[in-house]
Amino acid sequence: MKLKIGIYWGAACGGCDVAILDTHLKLLEIAAAVDIHLWPIATDFKYSDVRAMKDGFLDVVMFSGGVRNSENEEIARLLRRKAKTMIALGACAHLGGVPGLANMYTREDILRRAYLESESTVNERGILPQERSTVDGVELELPRVYDTVKTLEQVVPVEYSIPGCPPASMQIYSALGLVADDMLPKKGSIIGAGERALCDECIRKKSEKTITKIYRTHEKLPDAETCFLEQGFICLGPATRSGCGSRCIKSWAPCRGCYGPLDDVADQGLKMLSALASVIEPKDEQGINAVLDMVVDPVRTFHRFGLAASMLRRRKA
């Protein structure tokens, strides 16, 4: 019997959906093996269709995007009830992703910047989005923007996560294969990714690292063969799960950590900081601090995709 699946997005960009479409001809195999019952980017099912399903009707839901507002949470809870297996698809559902960087600010900071202060905004009456508003005698509703971006797992139980921003298309294809063949690992596992650090699969040459200075990309041209970190460019390879196919590295861009931490690592950013501190010369505290001070924007460098899932989680109010 065909698997019944739903695909949904919360606070997302649609890149995970495109990664599914980017399986190209394999998409035909997927389409032959599953019946799609929700996929806003590609099909016309409504929330009312989902509400009408019996609980547990869907075999699998793949949910991309984090939980940023009350609609994201409502649909996450609804789909959780309808799904036998819930998969967090991509860095945002898995770790909060780039939109999780909003946790450096408050809800009010964000609303003010977007709707009142931005150079391209015309809002003479200073109106901010309202959860309920009456316009010409009719009532309209909008979701509430939350103060804190949450990962999917911080809102509903999640069986599996497929990491990446976006996940590599063939990794989604193989993860769906695990579902179709009833070969899923134990609940709570990461699927569609490697089990080693990205460094272990990196094509660049590594030797004993010693870092005395940290460079920004415009300050020095990296050579074509040597490990970025050894050359002084921050690269999150040591603290990041493999499985992406080294897409960024092959494009001459150091890793920013979208595949998230390895198993049993509580905080990817702190793991990276620890890895970095261990290769800095000189070894005394003052020397290490002097080099670390060269990192311009530590939170958005070490927690680029994982701030919402990290121990920091958000700026204190």
Partner 1 sequence: MKRIAIDPITRLEGHGKITIFLNDDGAVDRAYLQIPELRGFEKFVEGLPVEEVPRVVTRICGV
Binding site for partner 1 (CB under 8 A): 9, 11-18, 40-48, 68-69, 71, 97-99, 101-102, 104-105, 109-111, 113-114, 118, 129, 135-136, 138, 140, 142-143, 145, 165-166, 216-218, 253, 256, 296-297, 300-301, 304
Residue 228: CB minimum distance to partner 1, A: 14
Residue 105: CB minimum distance to partner 1, A: 5
Residues forming a β-bridge with 134? 139
65 vs 261, which CB is nearer to partner 1? Answer: 65
49 vs 223, which CB is nearer to partner 1? Answer: 49
From CA 227, how far away is CA 102, in angstroms rounded?
A: 31
Long-range contacts of 258-261 (CB under 8 A, 24+ apart): 258/91, 258/97, 258/163, 258/164, 258/165, 258/304, 258/305, 259/91, 259/163, 259/164, 259/193, 259/198, 260/91, 260/94, 260/95, 260/163, 260/190, 260/305, 260/306, 260/309, 261/306
Residue 253: CB minimum distance to partner 1, A: 7
4 vs 68, which CB is nearer to partner 1? Answer: 68
Residue 304: CB minimum distance to partner 1, A: 8
40 vs 177, which CB is nearer to partner 1? Answer: 40
Residue 103: CB minimum distance to partner 1, A: 9
From CA 189, how far away is CA 161, in angstroms rounded?
A: 7
Residue 219: CB minimum distance to partner 1, A: 9
Residue 244 DSSP symbol: S
Residues forming a β-bridge with 150? 67
Of 80, 23, 33, 40, the closest CA to residue 57 belongs to: 80
Query: How many residues in the chain?
Result: 317
The residues, any chain, with a CB within 8 Å of residue 6's CB and separated by 6 or more, are: 36, 37, 38, 39, 50, 58, 60, 61, 62, 79, 82, 83
152 vs 179, which CB is nearer to partner 1? Answer: 152
264 vs 297, which CB is nearer to partner 1? Answer: 297
Residue 184: CB minimum distance to partner 1, A: 26
38 vs 179, which CB is nearer to partner 1? Answer: 38
